[in-house]
Structure 1
Amino acid sequence: MSTPLPRPLALSPSRANDYQQCPLLYRFRAIDRLPEDKTEAQVKGTLVHAVLEEMHGWRRDERTYPAAVKRIRPAWEKMCAEDATCADPIADEMELFVAARELIRGYFFMENPAGFDSAEQEMYVNAVLPNGVPVRGFIDRVDVAPTGQVRVVDYKTGKKPAPRYSATAQFQMRFYALVYWRLTGVLPNQLRLMYLKVMDSLFLAPSREELEYFERDLGDLWDKILADGASGTFRPTTSKLCGWCPFQALCPAFGGHPPAYPGWPGSAAD
């Protein structure tokens, strides 16, 4: 019986950010797929996303703040049933529920979901761009107006970064705008990042030319990843972010030793 081939890799906003931050971090996550402990922030974000996704599937008159809050506990129970490790970083369930409730309150402060119907929630995208870059990921929400205008929405449950640190968030939104455009032929009119904690948004209006330049940048980035993948040379890049890296003990920059390079998986990279 033959061994199934590893899943081909594809570029996502998170993995692109990993490589730009530190090529070795990319290798550990995308190629070695080293296990990582979940964080409280990640679990909380997943919980809030699940509630908002479910709510947008209801009838308009059902989309109220109290009704959404009532779905926090059932959504949490479903998450834990599917993956028991979700509970590992949570010291106090009630604190988690209160924090999720406040984030959902922030959402309702920013938007009235009873006033429109979204076209897609948690839209899975998996494609190859015209320049050969394989891409993969989930778009939180896509809204299509009666006039045909398209809005791509992403929920953020953490802090809103200062403008000089917003490049990562803007990269993610341009990434999904590009992928949506290449998949559907429709250029999104607006990109909106909703920072639920502070009840504030970041808006972008991408042009065709901007996304074409961005696509070329993705091609250059993918070429660098492919070159490292062929040689097995993913060099560490040190920065202030190293203090939060879960793989610091394996990093040569800190006296560690990475596992043996397993080779490039599949035929294409996440």
Structure 2
Amino acid sequence: MKLSIRNLEDLTSLERLSLTDFSYSRLDTYKMCPSKYFYTYIQKEPRLFGEAAVLGNIVHSVLEDNVSATDLLDTVKLQDSYSHQITTQDPDNKIKSELISVGKEILNEFYDQYSETKFDVLHKEYGFKFVLGSYLIAGYIDRIDSWGEDGVKIIDYKTGKWEISPKDIPTNLQLAIYAMAVDYLYPDKKIYAELYYLRSRKA
């Protein structure tokens, strides 16, 4: 059964008023800590990110800037971009040197694995919004690649140590939401998806 997804622009003003905002990050935040959900999304207090989360954002930004459909990876550009993002996103030097080293090693290993790879990138940091029932679902996908003759592949980078069990991937809510967004974007394509763990280089 294919779910009926609608475009936000196709709704009337009254229909839009009845929508409830929804995203995977919202649900994940509530699952981890209802109080954090309340203060972040209800009270709308400024979000405070721990150093591991900031490092994740930095590595994501470096890969967004350097993974290309036209150019091979350049190790010097990767590390220069990493230094620039650290200065930009951690101006107060709150990230411990041990974590900085972890990020550097992640990028070195990514380069070692893909230095000769030509990526078939279609989108990076693809932002989406769609309506499902009474919910406005929004989010960002790290990367969407062309995959084979008739497919597209969703890649979601993970910089943390925790990994989802392979048996739980088919029921992963985050990938399911992303797959719906990409299926709406490419209705005639087969959709593939993976969580790419940058520390262990496993997908």
- May I ask how many residue pairs the two structures share in their alignment? 184
Give 1:121 shift: 0.4
| Cα shift at 1:70 | 2.2
Higher mean alpha-carbon deviation, 101-110 vs 192-201, is at 101-110
Take 2:20 and 2:174, find their aligned partners in 1: how far apart are those partners? 18
**8 Å Cα contact 2:70-2:118 kept in structure 1:** no
Distance 1:102 1:166 in 2: 28
> Contact (CA 8 Å) 2:20, 2:135: kept in 1 or not?
no
Q: CA deviation at 1:22?
A: 5.4
Q: TM-score, normalised by structure 1?
A: 0.59
CA distance in 1, matches of 2:89, 2:29: 26
Q: Which residue pairs with 2:122 in the alignment?
A: 119
Instruction: Give the corresponding residue for 1:37.
Output: 48
- TM-aligned CA deviation for residue 164 of structure 1: 8.6
Cα distance in 1 for residues equivalent to 2:139 and 2:149: 27
Output aligned runs, 1:96-135, within 5 Å. Answer: 96-112=99-115, 114-129=117-132, 131-135=133-137
Corresponding residue of 2:94: 89
User: Higher RCO, 1 or 2 (CA under 8 Å, sep at least 6)?
Assistant: 1
Q: For 1:54, give the aligned amino acid.
A: D
Cα 1:145–1:192 change in 2 (3 A) is same
5+ long unaligned stretches in structure 1: 1-7, 202-270
Q: Which structure has the larger Rg?
A: 1
Q: Deviations over 1:186-239 (max 9, x none)?
A: 4553111110111111xxxxxxxxxxxxxxxxxxxxxxxxxxxxxxxxxxxxxx
- Taking the aligned partners of 1:141 and 1:89, their CA distance within structure 2 comes to 28
Identity across aligned pairs (percent)?
Answer: 25
> Any stretches of 5+ residues in structure 2 without a counterpart?
1-18
Give the letter aligned to residue 90 of structure 1.
Answer: I
Match of 1:207 in 2: none
Q: C-alpha distance in 1, partners of 2:79/2:36?
A: 37
Cα distance in 1 for residues equivalent to 2:119 and 2:67 = 9
